[in-house]
Amino acid sequence: MKIIETEKAPAAIGPYSQAIITGSLVYTSGQIPIVPETGLLVEGTIKEQTEQVIKNIDALLSAAGSSFANVVKTTCYLKNISDFSTFNSIYAKYFTSKPARSCVEVAKIPKDALVEIEVIAEI
C-alpha cells in the first residue's frame, strides 16, 4: 500500500490520506471544491464547484500515475439533487470512459460544499 500526497490537491482536513494505491488501483478520498493554494472553498454554483472538484481529482490521479481514462468507479454526493443535470454536463466532459457510478443527495457535505466526488481508478 502506498499513500499519495500532492500539493496540487487539497490537504486532508482530517486523519486520512488524499489517496491510496493498493495493487493496481488508486482510491481517492472524497474531493470537495477546495482550492489547494488557499485552502478555501470555491464560492459559486454547482458548476464552479464541480469544476474545482474535477481539478482536484485530476491532480490526485496524476500523482498516482493514472488519469480519467482509467477511472472504473465514482461515488458522487450532491447537496441538492436538483443540480443533477448541471452536474452531469460537467462530469461528462471528464469521465468520457463512462465509469460505474453512484450519485446521491446528502444532507450535508464538509465545509457546506455543494458536491463531493471520490474515484477508484486503475494505474
Q: Which residues are catalytic?
A: 103
Residue of 38, 97, 91, 41 whose CA lies nearest to 66: 97
Give the integer Cα–Cα distance in Å for 76 and 104.
Answer: 6
Please give the grid coordinates belonging to residue 2.
502506498
Nearest to 46 by CA among 3, 104, 85, 16: 85
